[in-house]
Amino acid sequence: MNSPLITPDLVRLDVDFGSSPADVIQHLAGLIEATGRATDAGPIAEAATAREAKAGTGVNGRVAIPHCRVATVNEPTLAFARLSNPVDFSGPDGDAELVFLIGAPEGGGKEHLKILSKLARALVRGDFVEKLRNASTGQELVDAVLEVVNAEPKKKKPKPATTDGAAAAGSTAVTAGAAGTSDDSGAKQDVIRIAAVTSCATGIAHTYMAADALTQAAEKRDNVELIVEPQGSSGGDPLEQSFIDSADAVIFAHDVAVRNKGRFAGKPVVDSPVKRGVNEPDAMIDEAIAAAKDPKAPRVAAASESAGEDSATGSSGESWPKRLQQAIMTGVSYMVPFVAAGGLLLALGFLLGGYDMANGWQALVTQFTPWDLPGHEVTVDGVTATFERSGWALYLGAVLYATGQMGMQFVVPALSGYIGYGLAGRPGIAPGFIGGAISVMVGAGFIGGLVTGLLAGVIAYWIQTWKVPRWLGSLMPVVIIPLLTSLIVGLLMFLLLGRPLEALMLGLTDWLSSMTGSSAVLLGIIIGLMMCFDLGGPVNKAAYLFGTAGLSAGTDASFEIMATVMIAGMVPPIALSIATFLRKELFTPAEQENGKSAWLLGLSFVSEGAIPFAAADPFRVIPAMMLGGATAGAVSMGLGVGCQAPHGGVFVIFAYDPWWGMVIALAAGVLVATLAVIAIKRFWPNKEIQKAAVDKAAQENTASAGAQQVAA
């Protein structure tokens, strides 16, 4: 890295940067742009403010560390402000006085993340924070920061001969060592061993702060031996299995799934968000000690043993309904790339080759080459077919369409396979994929894929609980479980469930195909309400699954449902963005900042762009958005708008038919949602926003009066 992480130009001491996190972030982002380290401060402020809206970045010591990774940042950068007017960043001990804004390039490697993690770790040290408070110049503060981030890593102590792997490379370790009492053989007594894992969504700051907070809390205890595995973006080696096996309890301080959770199977566990590891490390260690001594304490479920790093389930504290819901969401999230790639390729194929190309795409891609291009007439299965286009356009269109068809063939198997994975880990993948393929074969469609995925996951999970001899244990996850589960799922589908599920799917397809007039409008209203109810949550995802999975059927009804799903999902972010421009005083400063970018998220069909608004004021925002979504859905279905792309918003306008119907439906939904949210917020005011507006007006009046006195 050529430039230092922070320079005096990026430091402001004892300044008033406003009364909200968005104000402070905006000023700090401006410093980054002013020093030439970013091409545009706007995306930095928007990304960091959006991150702040999801979870405050305030930590102990009245410090805040908003952070983001965006494309406009040229190099890893820190901007710092010591505030004369502290601001609430949701810290545990009051408003933040010291604020670091961490800006990282979107595509940056891991080296700069290691440097940023050093800063995050230093912030839990009281002496470092005091240096920040007492610095009299920008250079003095820069020196203190660079001393931390440029420090060489401490050399790991060699492992004592009596330990069994207590110090894992790349982990943070605290060993009670001589502090514990010993018997005549030298064995430690009354020492509690704790294995811990920390992780946060970005893997930049809280991951390492929680790791060091737990480490420092353990250092003060004579009876605790603790090793932390930070699972952050800057990497790190995992805990040694020998220490995990000897641990008395486990601490998970995390916001994302713990990688390879199965390593900890059977251990008493304390499971909390990562911020609790930063703010309450002593309490978590106390709970871990209590769990180690309590035979009834929650334990890491054995089913996680094969779950892999992305498994959503496995914690013993989760109920089965919750685990089933998470497994279905896992299946949907892994299915979406197949739908997105396949669906968009189909749409591009139609755009290039014409819609009649679908009548002979297989012959076009197998009978012709770039050196032997098709004409307008092609023999398909012994019959001469005439196409509107010819040459490169027809041939490349057929190639794109054929590639998309291959991708769409995996939609149901992928849904089924990854539902099985979400419940049982790797052993559930193969049976799930096989069950999904059987579902397609017998005509059960995506409903059958849901069923086979759940069956595969539950059966594989059950088989994992069997007690088997050690020699057979190694064969279980790779041979025995997939074999038995696939056999059971196949028998159930062919002998029992296939025909009923096929009849259900055919009935649903026929019902959708027959819907016209008022019945189609009613379906559009229901879909619109679902898409805007929780803005990316389970209900929204259920509606999206209904639309995307139906694309594989290739019917007009399925295309119309997909269009309704996408148009309704675009409404909330666009409507809220427009509302913040029209009636700025009805929204908080943070919401006003979010509104500057929410419109683009909406046009891209990212409903989550409305979450900050809904989270801050759900009882006013959500009903208004549902009203707009229902309007958009009704108009879309009423006009018979179809869409062959599963994502992309207005940027795949070529995939809509008719495209003008999409524009009308979207405009109607946005108009209704915008007017509704403005009306609700106006006639049912938010007292907190009113108070903030009054305070701001009072400050402005005071400042104006002071200026007049000075002028006089």
Q: How high is the pLDDT of residue 517? A: 62
Residue with tokens 């269009």: 563
DSSP 238: P
- Strand 269-272 to strand 377-380: parallel, antiparallel, or no bridges (unpaired)? unpaired
Residues 435 and 456: their CA atoms lie apart, in Å, by 8
**626 token code pair:** 């549902």
DSSP 188: E
324 near 365, Cβ under 8 Å? no
204 near 102, Cβ under 8 Å? yes
Residues 102 and 115: their CA atoms lie apart, in Å, by 11
Nearest to 507 by CA among 516, 499, 495: 499
Nearest to 532 by CA among 588, 609, 590: 609
Angle of the 111-122 helix axis to the 138-149 helix axis, nearest 10: 110
200 catalytic per annotation? yes
- In order, the DSSP letters of 632-659 are HHHHHHHHT-EE--SS-GGGGGGGEESH
Cα 316 from chain centre: 23
pLDDT in tens, 413-443: 998 998 998 888 888 999 999 999 998 888 8
Active-site option among 68, 200, 532, 643? 200
Please report which helix (H) or strand (E) contains residue 372, including its range: none
Please report which helix (H) or strand (E) contains residue 182, including its range: strand 181-182
DSSP 474: T
Nearest to 607 by CA among 664, 531, 669, 538: 531
Residues forming a β-bridge with 642:
657
DSSP 170: T
**480 token code pair:** 């025995």
Torsion sign, CA atoms 489, 495, 496, 501: positive
Phi, psi of 205, deg, nearest 5? -115, -65
The CA-CA-CA angle for residues 593, 679, 620, to 5°, reads 65
Residues 206 and 204: their CA atoms lie apart, in Å, by 7
Buried/exposed 584-606: b ≥16 CB within 10 Å, e otherwise: eebbbbbbbbbbebbbebbbebb
599 conformational bin, left if phi > 0, alpha if psi -120 to 50, beta if neither:
alpha
**Residue 280 three-state SS:** coil
Residues 5 and 85: their CA atoms lie apart, in Å, by 26
Angle of the 538-550 helix axis to the 320-353 helix axis, nearest 10: 40
**Residue 284 three-state SS:** helix
Residues 601 and 112: their CA atoms lie apart, in Å, by 28
- 3-state secondary structure string across 92-115: CCCCEEEEEEEEEECCCCCHHHHH
Nearest to 487 by CA among 435, 446, 541, 538: 435
Burial of 638 (0-12, 13-18, 19+ CB in 10 A): middle
Residues 26 and 101: their CA atoms lie apart, in Å, by 10
Task: Count other Cβ atoms within 10 Å, centred on residue 409.
Answer: 15
**585 token code pair:** 């005083």
Residues of the chain with pLDDT under 50: 1, 109, 111, 155-170, 173, 175-189, 303-317, 707, 710, 712
Cβ contacts of 174 within 8 Å, gap of 6 or more: 215, 218, 219, 224, 225, 226, 227
Own/partner long-range contacts of 386-390 (Cβ < 8 Å, ≥24 apart)? 387/353, 387/354, 387/356, 387/357, 387/359, 387/360, 388/354, 388/356, 389/353, 389/354, 389/357
**Residue 10 three-state SS:** helix
- In order, the DSSP letters of 111-146 are HHHHHHHHHHHHTT-HHHHHHHHH--SHHHHHHHHH
216 near 126, Cβ under 8 Å? no
pLDDT in tens, 582-641: 988 888 776 787 788 788 878 878 776 787 787 667 888 889 999 999 999 999 999 989
**Residue 594 three-state SS:** helix
Residue 229 vs residues 285, 428, 473, 703: alpha-carbon distances, Å = 15, 27, 27, 51
Nearest to 546 by CA among 292, 259, 335, 242: 335
92 near 58, Cβ under 8 Å? yes
Nearest to 168 by CA among 110, 229, 104, 101: 229
Residue 185 vs residues 137, 242, 245, 431: alpha-carbon distances, Å = 57, 21, 21, 51
